[in-house]
Structures are given as C-alpha cells and as structure tokens.
Amino acid sequence: MANKQSYLEHAAVTVADIDWSIDFFKNVLGMTETRRKEKDGKLQQIWLKGGLQLVASPENPKAGQGHHLGIVVQDFEATIQEMLTYDGVTHIEGKPEKWIQLPDGLVLELFQEKPGAIEKVLAIEVK
C-alpha cells in the first residue's frame, strides 16, 4: 500500500447560540473570523482561524455535536474512489462529490492538497 497522508483542515460543529460561541472562541482562545455565511440577514455559519467552523443550529437538540470533518488529501480522486469501495460509504446526494458519508453518519468534506501543504502541517509538533 502506498504511503498516504492527510490532515484535518477543519472541524464543523453545530451550536445552539452562534453569537455566544463566537464570543467564547474569539475572546478565550483568540480565534479570529476568516469568513461567514448569512441567510436572510441571519448568521448561519462562521469559520474561525485555527480550523473551527460553527454551524448555527438553535432548534437542534443535538447542538454541540459534530457536523462534518474537512480533510485535506494528497490525491482527491483516488481517495474518493477508494472510500467508495467500503461498504456503506456513499456520496451525499445533491452535494458535490467532495461530500462523503460513512455508514455511521459521519460526514467528510474532502479537499485536494496544495503542493507541500500536508508535509508542512504534519511537521508541526504540539507539545
């Protein structure tokens, strides 16, 4: 098997109160906003520097749980093809091919690596 590498580019979680969550992650952890998505003047999603995406879900009793994982891979097409050989792994209907669902419901959003990115990210040591 070829040496494959990837890294978690972002984790998206649902939150009951997106304004409270933004305040917390900005003020306590110093995460700054990189982009946002609004609909009808209401904030729906926000991406924070450091790899966190918050998805507004005020009516969801499961708020505070994972929404999806964004993963950077070395070979986008080959990775998707290999994933789909596993029983129960599917594309999410109506979404671009980068959206994959695992049998237990976990959703992955795949991204093609920019040259050298995985090597740089994996070289970072956290102590």
Domains recognised in the chain with CATH numbers: 6-122 (3.10.180.10)
Mean pLDDT within 82-106: 94
Output phi, psi for 119, to 5 deg.
-55, -45
Range among 1-10, 12-21, 57-66 rated most confident: 12-21
Instruction: Please answer whether residues 9 and 48 qualify as being in contact, where contact means their C-beta atoms are separated by less than 8 angstroms.
Output: no
Residue 15's pLDDT is what?
93
User: Does the structure show a pLDDT above 70 at 1?
Assistant: no
Q: Residue 2's pLDDT band (boundaries 50, 70, 90)?
A: low
Range in 7-16, 35-44, 57-66 the model is least confident about: 57-66
Mean pLDDT within 100-117: 93
CB atoms within 10 A of CB 18: 21
Residue 122's pLDDT is what?
87
Residue 4's pLDDT is what?
86
Residue 61's pLDDT is what?
77
3-state secondary structure of 84: coil
Tokens of 36: 């946002």
Alpha carbon 106 to chain centroid, angstroms: 11
Residue 69's pLDDT is what?
95
User: Does the structure show a pLDDT above 60 at 9?
Assistant: yes
User: Does the structure show a pLDDT above 70 at 115?
Assistant: yes
Give the pTM: 0.82
